[in-house]
Structure 1
Amino acid sequence: MAKICQYLCLCYSILLSNLTSYAQNNTDKNVVIRSQEERYEFVAANDAANPVNIQQSLKAAYVCEQYRTTIPFAEFYDDKSKIEDVRVYVDNDRRKEVKPIFANYSIDNIFYSDAKICGLQLDLIKKGVETRVELEKSFLDPRYLTSIYFSEPYPVHSKVIAVVVPRWMKIEIKEMNFGGHNISLDKTYDNKKDADIYTYTATNLAARENDAQAPGPSYVYPHLLMLPKSATTSKGTQTYFNKTEDLYAWYHSLVQQIGDDEAIIKQKALEITKGISSDTAKIVAVYQWVQDNIRYIAFEDGIAGFKPEAAQSVLQHKYGDCKGMANLTRGLLKALGFDARLCWIGTDHIAYDYSTPSMAVDNHMICALNYKGKRYFIDATETYIGFNQYAQRIQNRQVMIENDKSYILDRIPDCKYTQNTEVEKRTLRVDGNALVGTVQHLWEGESKEYLLNRVNGTRKEKINDAMLRFLNDDNDKYGITNLKTSDVNNWNQQLSINYDLRYQDAVAGFGDDMFIEMDFRKELSDFTIDTTKRRADYLFSFKHHVRHETDLDIPAGYKAELPANLNVDRDGYAFHLTYKQTGSKVIYQKEIIIRNNWLAKSAFKQWNEDVQLLNKAYLEQVTLNKK
């Protein structure tokens, strides 16, 4: 049941896709979990490969408090776990006709993982009538039970989690995010089993929130982090993750099993870099080739497959997950003589680092390149970001780098907001009730990646139309002609776009006066946060840096009356709007800075006040008075 917390909103079949859609949008308080009991017991198994299993049992009782409804229930499993039985009871009567669906987890019908899912519909037939699910599941390897969450998609009146640990099993159970929750622990000893029993009881747990752009669950929700150390059974002593070295040793052993075909990889590497003499250009060519030719199949944390797919298989399929893409990138670079290595990393979705030896620490794999005394990190899953630029999700994150039988810990650079600068320069004049002139745009970093993702999300023959819609924000009065772009297929350089503009009805007249709004974009306009509904901190997708300038010719015979400037500067963000007159020109400059992508709840009030100031400033107009 622990994985339901992380995966309930994933789609895995038409039926369960519909059900999970309901769960995502179920914001009312109709459904509650009256009681839930979970038990996890470590048992010795007669299996040399998997000498320790974990037997899980679950009983969860759901009720509707207002009206009848149907809700989804889902549980993941894989080649290291199996679901033994699922039973459904309504008002204590067994409903044998309710059959769970067992399906491969797929994306676009590509079964690219050993992950599977079990799901069913639960009918809550009448207010107050209890519908209960009982489930039996086993984990073949204790490493794969990384965490047990208390919170559920619905409010929980009472939840009991019992963990039975025989004395031959050494494990650390870390209590995470317990503050502010009513959770108690009762530890007892079972003499017959020679086992310690940890019984956690939680009451009145709030439902998990569905806030968009929220921190990952490991930052927020109470859970048990399960850290298996070792076990001594009749099969001998099995070491799991006593320390970080053990975690790396296990990862490294999987890498040794990959089986890359070096001849095939070298042939492809030479093909990609044919005619290129510069080392740097070869590196960039390999990086961009993987970005452009290998489809990224994304799997979130919890997938049981930690062994990268062989590079030749990724080449053949032309798709892969982060592990497969990282291994292919490494293989191509190594074939060219570069020092390239695999890296394990947890994105900013995860609260832990490698001081905690657990598979819960990382959910991503990239490649490191040591070149001329400097280390570069390469993440080909970021399709449109340039070499030596880093996505927000991995910035400042600790990374584990392969180093034969040892490892290296490092950090991804924490890039400043200037990496993602977006510039717009407009030179305009008044033509009747229109503004006409020229516009130049420049994009870098993740602002460029965002634009290219939007534009390339369309069919190739419609890219130009998509670019126009993006630039004019679907405003048919913002007429664009003579559009010229830099190479949109080379994202290792700035993206630049130039065009001629005729902005119809942008000039309002009253008598001898003209009124002009100088800002067409109005970034963050009305971006206030509803503090009555939102419970989680807000995470911007990346740090932002917007710099816009509009130069407006003052028509002959007119003088300009300028609005007041706006200057807001906080620790995490800044808004600057300035007007000035230089000779016969009005110059409007705007700078929007999001220097910290994490906006804490404690800052919401100030943020909302500042956005209101920004909105008010956006509505101000330049007035041109006839002399």
Structure 2
Amino acid sequence: MKMRKMLQYRLADLDSMLVLLFAFLQPISAQKADDNVHILQCNDRYVFKTDDAGKTIVVNTTDYEYGVTQYSALVQPCAYYGEFIRLDKAQCKGYAQYKSAIPRNVFYDDTKICYFSYQIPKVGKTLKASFTRTYLNPIYFTTIPLCEANYVEHKKIEVIKPKAFQQFRIKEYNLPAGIEKSTTCNAEGDSVFTYVIHSLPAQQIEPNSPSWGYSAPHLLVLGAFQSLQDMFVWSHQLANVDCSIPNQEEILREIQKGAKNDYDKIANTYAWVQQNIRYLAFEAGISAHQPATPAETIRKRYGDCKAMALLLKTLLKAQGFDARQTDIGTWDVPYSLQENPSIASIDHAICTVFYQGKPYYLDATNPYVPLGYVPDNIQGRMALVEDADSFRMNKLPELAADSCFSSITYQATLESGDDGNYDIKGKLYSKWKGDMKSWILVGNDATAQDEKEKALVAAMGGDERLDKIGDIVMTGNRPRDESLNITAFL
């Protein structure tokens, strides 16, 4: 799992929601002032409270008023909820409908969506909708978005924090110019943080663009953890599961076969998990943060990042190695882990093994990289590395540019054919390292058997002018291999 917490930000993954609606939400990248559907007014309120059991909760009430500027249109107000966000009320014209909302590349997610469908008949008519939700645990109340799925003419966000909740604080990110901010106290002595914004475009989400957090205006809510130590203890306790593996000795014999030294044993263990466990992301409630047991991961032959990291740790420790669970934020996370003790600051888990005084960072979700290589999405990132009942903060290395590259070399001549035309004859050499090696091999695995050669030719720069590439030979396609080498004849 890459722990992309959809519950944190309800717009972050709208581009990838597999909701079974042909017209669910108008395309986000198209929502501008001259578009037809507008949110005329949005009031978004968050109140910190204590429930009957004495636990901290956050009650969120969002009121919308929709309108059209040109012609009749279907409008679909919606709200997300799940295990840690309870939907208390959904009110609008029409009938409430409920569906699962699973992001692309996520195997299972417990996030659900409640939505209404209503046709605003003409300009001047409006539609009102209201949703009330309760965050049942403040750990999962991490971000407040400013943008909505439609262009917003006026929006007000209020965060009400009674004196008993002063440990919670707000950090602002990417706020637009012209936003009106104020901090006041109400009659009860509660702190009230207010943000008012006008003419707010919908968040633009483009394919292959940087993570939304780098550009989208939002508020980061801190205070559920008082320190990184608190967050580590919480994560460490969740990872305290049964690590016994019934057939462990048999697996270790398979892993150690052919190993000449301890380094080989570590590399073989890494490769065994990469080759035998398929990475599938889980974002379902507590499963988004608690790893499956190693025995269950082996039985199912798949797991998320936490499960794969814990399996690696378990197998390495069984061989006497110093292996540790590690939480990290990938390059998709815009926040500093040191300054922001929040689950919003971490979205990934790996295993760190210390060998001869050197840390090796093992990310088995990347199936084709060798021991010693650090995937580019975690290079230079800070990580919480398990250290008994505490942690150490490690910065992962940034590797040299030549650790990740692809190259293609042609050795060819022009030969005259019987028809008077010239043909290119020769040999093609292609080399792939690091993430580039993993990229082409993962793509090859996902390609239908009868399309593999065509896909490889395209990856190596072949086109209609080089359609006679053949006799493709691939070597170095094991996880332990430093580079993938492909040769072909022209």
Question: What TM-score does the superposition give when structure 2 sets the normalisation length?
Answer: 0.89
Match of 2:159 in 1: 163
2:372 to 366, 372, 388: 388
1:322–1:123 distance in 2 versus 1, CA, 3 Å: farther
Which range moves more in the overlay, 272-281 or 439-448? 272-281
Residue 341 of structure 1 deviates from its aligned partner by: 0.9
Q: Percent identity?
A: 26
Residue pair 1:300, 1:363 contacting (<8 A) in 2 also? no
Gaps of 5+ in 2: 1-6, 417-421
> Which AA in structure 2 matches 1:31?
V
1:173 equivalent to 2:182? Answer no
Residue 54 in structure 1 maps to residue 38 in structure 2: no
- Asked whether 1:45 is paired with 2:51, we answer yes
Bigger radius of gyration: 1
CA separation of 1:486/1:305 partners in 2, compared to 1, >3 Å: closer, same or farther? closer
Q: 1:175 & 1:122 partners in 2: Cα distance?
A: 36
Corresponding residue number in structure 2 for 1:442: 431
Alpha-carbon contact 1:115-1:304 (below 8 Å) kept: no
Residues 184 and 173 (structure 1), Cα distance of their counterparts in 2 relative to 1, 3 Å cut: farther
Say whether 1:414 aligns with 2:410: no
| 1:85 matches 2:89 | yes
2:446 is matched with 457
- 1:3, CA displacement in angstroms? 2.4
CA offsets 1:211-253 (integer angstroms, 9 cap, x no match): 333222222122211112xxxxxxxxxxx41122111121112
Spell out the pairing of 1:228-307 with structure 2 (5 A cutoff): 228=223, 240-256=224-240, 258-298=241-281, 305-307=288-290
Residue from 188, 195, 202 that aligns with 1:207? 202
What do residues 563-582 of structure 1 show as CA deviations (whole Å, max 9, x unaligned)?
Answer: xxxxxxxxxxxxxxxxxxxx
Equivalent residue number for residue 403 of structure 1: 387
Deviation at 1:197, TM superposition (A): 1.7
**How far is the alpha carbon of 1:437 from its aligned partner?**
1.6
SS in 1 for 2:259: coil
2:456 aligns with: 467
Deviation at 1:181, TM superposition (A): 2.4
2:176 and 2:59 mapped to 1: Cα distance? 30
Distance 2:376 2:286 in 1: 22
Tell me what 1:31 maps to: 37
Q: Is the 8 A contact 1:181 1:205 kept in 2?
A: no
- Aligned-partner Cα distance in 1 for 2:385–2:463: 46
Amino acid at match of 2:198: T
- TM-score by length of structure 1 reads 0.70
Output the amino acid matched with 1:381.
Answer: T
Equivalent position SS for 1:368: strand
Q: What is the deviation of 1:177?
A: 2.7
- Please list every run of 5 or more consecutive structure 1 residues that lacks an aligned counterpart in the other structure: 89-94, 229-239, 502-627
Shift of 1:486: 1.0
Identify the range of structure 1 (390-399 vs 298-307) with the bigger mean alpha-carbon deviation: 298-307
Structure-1 residue corresponding to 2:182: 186
- Partner Cα separation in structure 2 for residue 347 and residue 138 of structure 1: 29
Q: Provide, for residues 467-518 of structure 1, a one-character-per-residue CA deviation record: whole Å limited to 9, x for no partner.
A: 34543634264312332221434452311122221xxxxxxxxxxxxxxxxx
Amino acid aligned to 2:138 = P
User: What is the number of equivalent residue pairs in this alignment?
Assistant: 476
SS at match of 1:5: coil
Provide the C-alpha distance between the structure 2 equivalents of 1:109 and 1:201, rounded to a whole number of angstroms: 35
Instruction: Output aligned runs, 1:127-138, within 5 Å.
Output: 127-138=123-134
1:494-547: per-residue Cα shift (whole Å, max 9, x none)?
11122221xxxxxxxxxxxxxxxxxxxxxxxxxxxxxxxxxxxxxxxxxxxxxx
Q: What's the secondary structure of 1:287's corresponding residue? A: helix
What amino acid is aligned across from residue 68 of structure 2 in structure 1? Answer: C
TM-aligned CA deviation for residue 348 of structure 1 = 0.9
What residue is the counterpart of 1:515 in the other structure?
none
What is residue 149 of structure 1 aligned with on the other side? 145
2:311 corresponds to 1:328: yes
Are the equivalent residues in 2 in contact too, given 1:63–1:127 (CA < 8 A)?
A: yes
Q: Which has the higher contact order (CA 8 A, sep 6+)?
A: 2
Do the aligned residues in 2 keep the contact of 1:387 with 1:492 (CA within 8 Å)?
no
Aligned equivalent of 2:217, options 222, 225, 232: 222
* Counterpart residue type for residue 453 of structure 1: V
TM superposition shift of 1:459: 3.3
CA distance in 2: counterparts of 1:126 and 1:303, whole angstroms = 45
